[in-house]
Amino acid sequence: MAGQAGTSSSAAGDGRSYAVAFAVMTAPFFIWGFVTALNDILIPHLKSAFDLNYTQAMLIQFCFFAAYFIVSPFAGRLVERVGYRQGIVFGFLTMAAGCGLFYPAAEVEVYAVFLAGLFVLAAGITVLQVSANPYVSALGPERTGPSRLILAQAINSLGHTLAPVFGASLILATTVVGTTASAKAVQAPYLMLAAAMIVFSVVFMFLRLPVIKEVETRPSPEDHDSIFKHRPLILGALAIFLYVGAEVSIGSFLVNYFMQSDIGGLAEEEAGRMVAYYWGAAMIGRFVGAAAARYVAPYLVLAFNAFVAISLIATTILSDGNVAMWTILAVGFFNSVMFPTIFALAIRGLGPLTGRGSGLLCQAIVGGAVLPVIQGVVADLTTVQLSFAVPAVCYAYIAWYALRGQDESTIATFRKAKV
């Protein structure tokens, strides 16, 4: 009896420490969501400031998300060596350096320097993602990992939602109607962000977070297992590639799409504020999805959302005015659960390989670099409206992954648990 009581007390203690750790870990999710969504404001602003076409403007997303592909393998090994908390500190400091580069970039008014700053900024976010995603997923029972990650991503979406309002007010609003945008408008906002990153790095430097043995253990040299032997992980990496590409592509084109006379006819600042609805819908969807994933098998939730996203994109392509505007914004709601659900399903059962699996999945976020450029090319060759067919194809694969990309054991586990 005493032993049982001790076990119960220990479990309760773990539960409390995990709850506190989860609450603290929402901060990195919020920050990288906020910074990532600011790209949707940077694109139209720098497009005007440097007189770019759509393909050139999408280099913002290309350089930002290319960092995930290049940095993720190193980030995974860094986290294996120093642990998740120190990885987060390193990520915040790297982000601060990237934000700081925006000041000289605006002074010399060279587009390439902005792109370099974005790469460094995204490198820091990559380390945060590799550290935070698997850690949050492991803060409790494996069965409810997708639900926890969806909830954390809801906080990420809060950052996405607030960023367009912040950017529209401090960046887009500085442009006088009929004049060319000034690159220097980004200096103050990004210096503010750099200061915030430094503060967060200091806070996490002194935090004590619980160690999750399964995900903090390094693979043994005698262990010949490889992440490339895990089919759901490999297929999940492609799903992450296409999902992030689709989500980022849509957000990147919203301002210019809503400014078109047959769609919204909005002024640039007003169109920028509308982007908040796209990310706000994702935030609401993630809170709903976190609850749904506890009662409905996550792979079924993922498939349903992918099919609805395809239907909404088809509607926006075939319509105009308010219908076209609100259907493309509504895609944000159904995007909501995709990344955390794919991520949790893909790393399920990796054990000591979790860090490397997380690195591979974060590397696949490079889809955010590739797909916007592809959509930019399609938009230059056709129209912005028709170019939304590009993300629709991405959602088709995600639906397939949800229904056909899982191991039978995974599906059986969810059915047995009646989740």
Q: What is the CATH number of the domain that holds 359?
A: 1.20.1250.20
What total number of domains does the chain contain? 1
pLDDT at 416 over 90: no
The whole-number pLDDT of residue 3 equals 45
User: Is 182 within a domain?
Assistant: yes
Four-residue CA torsion sign, 380, 382, 384, 386: negative
Q: Is the CB of residue 288 less than 8 Å from the CB of residue 153?
A: no
Closest CA to 240 of 118, 151, 149: 149
pLDDT band per the 50, 70, 90 thresholds, residue 371? very high
Residue 126 in 3-state DSSP?
Answer: helix
In whole angstroms, what is the distance from residue 338 CA to residue 340 CA? 6
User: Is 219 within a domain?
Assistant: no
pLDDT at 16 over 70: no
The whole-number pLDDT of residue 83 equals 78
Amino acid 312 reads: L
- Residue bearing the bigger pLDDT, 413 or 57: 57
Q: Which residues contact 175 (CB under 8 A, 6 or more apart)?
A: 45, 48, 181, 182, 185, 268, 269
List pLDDT tens digits, range 278-316.
988 988 888 888 777 777 888 888 999 999 999 999 999
pLDDT band per the 50, 70, 90 thresholds, residue 275? confident
User: Is 288 within a domain?
Assistant: yes
Residue 304 in 3-state DSSP?
Answer: helix
Least confident span in 144-158, 259-273, 335-349: 144-158
Least confident span in 120-134, 141-155, 184-198: 141-155
pLDDT at 411 over 60: no
The whole-number pLDDT of residue 245 equals 94
User: Is 42 within a domain?
Assistant: yes
> Which residue range forms the structural domain that includes residue 55?
19-209+227-416
pLDDT at 58 over 60: yes
How many CB atoms are closer than 10 A to CB 404?
10
**What's the token pair of residue 382?**
């056709």
User: Is 214 within a domain?
Assistant: no
The whole-number pLDDT of residue 125 equals 92
User: Is 8 within a domain?
Assistant: no
As a whole number, mean pLDDT of residues 151-169 equals: 82
Q: What is the mean pLDDT of the chain?
A: 82
How many CB atoms are closer than 10 A to CB 265?
12
User: Is 349 within a domain?
Assistant: yes
Q: State which of 40-54, 149-163, 185-199 shows the largest mean pLDDT.
A: 185-199
User: Is 10 within a domain?
Assistant: no
